[in-house]
């Protein structure tokens, strides 16, 4: 067995914050009995950088702390301290970032060891802050061709069982649904239906449709209200685009003239089809979606669509 404390850092290795220390990624280890590992008893949040700068970090941290309060989990750090730590992690890792790449930046907090008296187990919560390079190359085609959305038979966990407003580690419902879709339609984007049969959300993403110039997205009670979702709704207000939060049926999706998804990494990305049926407008992106994408790029100070497209093969 290798003593991990004696392992030399790897070349160009990223730095991670873990329980009070900044350590090389290969040395950032948690105990085998950590409740986040064995029970999914943990919360997290994810921001992203644009040209190396974190976008709306305060909003992501505020959402993380709302999730933690819902779980009755005290991370032992104030929100301001978590912001400072996150910014420091990005500063330490920025030299490793290629000029045209950016980071996902994540905070993860578990309740700590289920058996705190065991050798190597830490007392109290486990707190980690880390970053990963965004998968710009593998997702670039989504901005050229649009997203193909598929609905699995697996339904989203209802709010009566677990509140979707909390961003928790327990992603198995989403993973089972994703596996189902990828087995039948590799490359499609999974959007689950809720137990009532309406469009809900995907893995880290919110869905929007556009019909007769009106933007519609599922109600906040049933989905995790993403920060990028909030930006899209803010842009609707600023650009005088009518919008509403309402139930969206598969029938509504089939008759949408435009559609798009929002997520931290993708920002706003156009949808090409639902269940292999092309959006009726035929433009990728449609005119309303294009206005929102352009507005999003202006807000973040980066042409994120061009950033993705530059990573296309050929």
Per-residue pLDDT in tens (0 to 9) along the chain, 314 residues: 344 444 555 778 999 999 999 999 999 999 999 999 999 999 999 999 999 999 999 999 999 999 999 999 999 999 999 999 999 999 999 999 999 999 999 999 999 999 887 877 778 999 999 999 999 999 999 999 999 999 999 999 999 999 999 999 999 999 999 999 999 999 999 999 999 999 999 999 999 999 999 999 999 999 999 999 999 999 999 999 999 999 999 999 999 999 999 999 999 999 999 999 999 777 899 999 999 999 999 999 999 999 999 999 75
| 260 shares its domain with 128 | no
What angle separates helix 227-238 from helix 287-300, to the nearest 10 degrees? 110
Q: What is the DSSP string of 251-291?
A: HHHHT-SEEEEEETTTEEEEEEEETTEE-TT--SS-HHHHH
Contacts of 20 (CB under 8 A, 6+ apart): none
Diameter of the chain measured on Cα atoms: 64
Instruction: Tell me, yes or no, whether 69 lies in a domain.
Output: yes
| 18 shares its domain with 107 | yes
| 129 shares its domain with 267 | no
The pLDDT of residue 8 is 53
| Residue 43 belongs to domain with CATH number | 3.30.470.10
Instruction: Tell me, yes or no, whether 87 lies in a domain.
Output: yes
Separation between Cα atoms, residue 106 and residue 83, nearest integer Å: 11
The pLDDT of residue 115 is 86
The pLDDT of residue 9 is 59
Full residue range of the structural domain in which residue 10 is found = 4-134
Indicate the residue among 134, 150, 170 that finishes a domain.
134
| 144 shares its domain with 281 | yes
The pLDDT of residue 91 is 97
The pLDDT of residue 123 is 82
| 46 shares its domain with 162 | no
| 71 shares its domain with 86 | yes
| Residue 197 belongs to domain with CATH number | 3.20.10.10
| 158 shares its domain with 78 | no
| 217 shares its domain with 128 | no
The pLDDT of residue 256 is 96
| 103 shares its domain with 212 | no
| 33 shares its domain with 121 | yes
| 81 shares its domain with 158 | no
The pLDDT of residue 10 is 72
**Cβ 164 vs Cβ 222: under 8 Å:** yes
| 76 shares its domain with 44 | yes
**Cβ 98 vs Cβ 51: under 8 Å:** no
Instruction: Tell me, yes or no, whether 314 lies in a domain.
Output: no
**Cβ 262 vs Cβ 228: under 8 Å:** yes
């Amino acid at each position: 067995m290798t003593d991990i404390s004696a392992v030399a850092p790897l070349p160009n290795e990223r730095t991670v914050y873990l329980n009070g220390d900044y350590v090389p990624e290969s040395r950032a280890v948690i105990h085998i009995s950590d409740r986040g590992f064995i029970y999914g008893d943990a919360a997290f949040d994810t921001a992203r950088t644009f040209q190396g700068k974190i976008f709306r970090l305060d909003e992501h941290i505020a959402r993380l702390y709302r999730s933690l309060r819902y779980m009755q989990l005290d991370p032992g750090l104030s929100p301001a301290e978590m912001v400072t730590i996150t910014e420091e992690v990005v500063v330490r890792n920025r030299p490793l970032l290629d000029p045209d790449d950016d980071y996902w930046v994540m905070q993860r907090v578990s309740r700590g060891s289920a058996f705190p008296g065991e050798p190597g187990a830490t007392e109290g919560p486990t707190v980690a802050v880390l970053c990963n390079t965004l998968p710009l190359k593998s997702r670039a085609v989504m901005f050229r061709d649009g997203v193909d959305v598929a609905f699995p038979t697996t339904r989203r966990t209802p709010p009566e069982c677990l509140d979707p407003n909390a961003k928790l580690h327990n992603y198995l419902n989403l993973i089972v649904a994703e596996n189902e879709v990828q087995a039948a339609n590799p490359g499609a984007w999974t959007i689950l239906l809720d137990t009532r049969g309406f469009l809900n959300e995907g893995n880290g993403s919110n869905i929007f449709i556009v019909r007769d110039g009106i933007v519609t997205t599922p109600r906040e009670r049933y989905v995790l209200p993403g920060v990028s979702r909030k930006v899209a709704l803010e842009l609707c207000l600023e650009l005088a685009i009518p919008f509403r939060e309402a139930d969206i049926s598969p029938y509504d999706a089939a008759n949408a003239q435009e559609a798009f998804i929002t997520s931290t990494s993708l920002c706003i990305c156009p949808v090409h089809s639902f269940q292999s049926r092309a959006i009726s407008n035929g433009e990728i992106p449609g005119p309303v979606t294009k206005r929102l994408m352009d507005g999003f790029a202006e807000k973040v100070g980066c042409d994120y669509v061009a950033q993705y497209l530059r990573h296309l093969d050929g």
